[in-house]
Amino acid sequence: MTAVSPSAEMAAPAAERPAAAEDHPLLRDGYKRWLVFVLLLVSIFNFADRAILAVLAQPIKEDLHLTDTDLGILQGLGFAILYSVLGIPLGMLAERMRRTRLLTACIAVWSAMTVACGFATSFTTMLLGRIGVGVGEAGAQPITNSLVSDHYPPSRRASVFSLILLGSPLGFLLGQSAGGIVASHWGWREAFYVMGVPGIIVALLILFTLREPPRGLVDGTAKAAVATPVPSLREVLRYLFAKRAFRHLLAGFVIVSFTMNAIANFVLPFYLRGFDVPLATIGVLFGVVSFFSNGIGMLLGGFGFDALGKRDIRWTLWGPALGMVICIPIYFGAFISHELYLSLAFIFFGNMALATFMAPTWASMQNLAGPRMRATTSAVGALAIGVLGAGLGPTVVGFLSDRFASSSFTGGNFLASCPGGRGSDGIGTALDGACLSASADGLRFALISVLGVFVWAAFHYLLAARSLRRDLYDPKEEETPA
């Protein structure tokens, strides 16, 4: 088998559907619209099951007497380690079996484990529940990306990914709004029970309405892909890391994910501690802000940079780098402000600028890989950003928050005097007020301290853009490495 030359330029036909595939029933517009809709539902409940812990973090912390470090682990490493590590074998499995059935099983697992989180009685049992959610969600991104890449050509992938990635703000809106309302009326445990049910319906939709496409269908390489052995993990890694664009893109993705996930997981506790606003109110309010800001940003990044990419493909990486730099002073304004609606306005525009990177990043990774390695490529990306980005980001910010809060607290040992961030002598006391103030300031300074990391990430995106055109996958070449 011949290897793809890293110096191969993207051929013009790579952006269009080959004529031989035009009439395939799985490439008809009606079916493809249904595929995107169902995968959007997968994305919505994927992120809703993550978002619900963010909105419930404060009552869980107070009920189970947790620290911010504990919350960081629950929202970071506790979720991300198995989510990321298992993505590799699940991605490789997706190269070898029916992806629709594997995705159905993954959704059923994470929905059941979301319900299990409602039975947690300690940090350990909640951690086990979050690990279980991560196990189920590990296969969603690799399988989704692989299915999309078999139905849409490179010139449209970022646009389609941006539509599916709308599941992120929609999921956060659903998880934060529904979670906040249910928790306010019945309790945080019941919120987990309610959120675990809809995933089963989505799993059934996949099982009974989606069909497994031939590998490389839209590239016109389906027959070659069937005849080509599935590459091993070592072969895939050798192929990908031989490409300078992939190396820098992955590094930038990891770095931007570090701060992005830290903000996403701690921004609601920030508002609950620093502003006098009820849980249900801020859950709905922030859910709406997050939905529109992230949704607009993802669409701008997907459709906007796809359009600019037709002039110069490097815009798919230049654009995200620009968004990362722009969002830094905006987020600073959000976290330094003590006025609720001004802070939320800054958050809106900060989210919108940052979210432009998501769809072009996943699309570029798919465009660098061949048809028999796209699920594995997504899993490799998910492993790196999961452990080093989504895992370490919230964990580090939680640790920094506890340290800054201890420095701000003048009443002795913060962790001993303020279990769960509240006064040990009861709610509403002078000690309780001092605990809340220190806890709010600690989180504020922790979030501000990691914003500069976005510049580092943008630098890697610029470096990746320099060799992107040379490293893109060319369907005229054999995609399987030697």
Q: Cα–Cα distance between 446 and 400 in angstroms, integer?
A: 5
The structure tokens listed for 247 are 């190396």
What is the per-residue pLDDT for 330? Answer: 97
9: in domain: no
480: in domain: no
211: in domain: yes
Q: Cα–Cα distance between 199 and 106 in angstroms, integer?
A: 10
pLDDT per residue as tens, the chain (482 positions)? 334 443 333 333 333 444 445 567 877 888 999 999 999 999 898 888 777 887 788 788 888 888 888 887 887 776 667 667 777 787 788 878 888 899 998 898 888 888 898 898 888 898 888 888 877 777 787 888 888 888 888 777 888 888 888 888 888 778 777 877 888 888 888 888 888 888 888 999 999 999 888 877 776 655 555 556 678 888 889 999 999 999 999 999 999 999 998 898 888 889 988 887 887 787 778 878 888 998 899 999 988 888 888 888 899 999 999 999 999 999 999 999 999 999 999 999 999 999 999 889 988 998 898 877 887 888 888 888 877 877 788 889 989 998 998 888 887 888 888 887 778 777 778 888 888 889 889 999 999 999 999 999 999 999 999 999 999 887 665 544 44
8: in domain: no
450: in domain: yes
The 10 Å Cβ neighbour count of residue 185 is 10
223: in domain: yes
The structure tokens listed for 404 are 């800054």
Give per-residue pLDDT as tens, 35-65.
999 999 998 988 887 778 877 887 888 888 8
The 10 Å Cβ neighbour count of residue 7 is 9
Tell me, what amino acid is at 23?
D
Q: Cα–Cα distance between 96 and 230 in angstroms, integer?
A: 7
Q: Cα–Cα distance between 220 and 199 in angstroms, integer?
A: 34
Residues near 223 by beta carbon (within 8 Å), at least 6 away in sequence: none
The 10 Å Cβ neighbour count of residue 186 is 12
CB of 260 closer than 8 Å to CB of 354: yes
CB of 314 closer than 8 Å to CB of 469: yes
Q: Which domain holds residue 426?
A: 15-471
Q: Cα–Cα distance between 171 and 380 in angstroms, integer?
A: 24
Q: Cα–Cα distance between 59 and 62 in angstroms, integer?
A: 5
Q: Cα–Cα distance between 469 and 61 in angstroms, integer?
A: 48
Q: Cα–Cα distance between 455 and 478 in angstroms, integer?
A: 37
CB of 246 closer than 8 Å to CB of 365: yes
Q: Which residues of 374-399 are buried (b: 16+ CB within 10 A; e: fewer)?
A: bbbbbbbbbbbbbbbbbbbbbbbbbb
Count of structural domains within the chain:
1
477: in domain: no
Q: Which of 439, 409, 422, 277 is nearest to 343 (CA)?
A: 277
Instruction: List C-alpha distances in Å: 125 to 64, 113, 120, 269.
Output: 11, 11, 5, 21
The structure tokens listed for 175 are 């998880």
Q: How distant is the alpha carbon of residue 394 from its chain centre?
A: 13
318: in domain: yes
- pTM as predicted: 0.71
Angle of CA points 255, 258, 259, to nearest 5°:
105
Instruction: List C-alpha distances in Å: 26 to 101, 103, 220, 329.
Output: 17, 18, 13, 45
Q: Cα–Cα distance between 398 and 71 in angstroms, integer?
A: 7
Q: Cα–Cα distance between 291 and 299 in angstroms, integer?
A: 12
| C-alpha dihedral sign at 263, 269, 78, 141 | negative
Q: Cα–Cα distance between 78 and 67 in angstroms, integer?
A: 14
- For 187, the enclosing helix (H) or strand (E) is none
Instruction: Assign residue 176 the CATH number of its domain.
Output: 1.20.1250.20
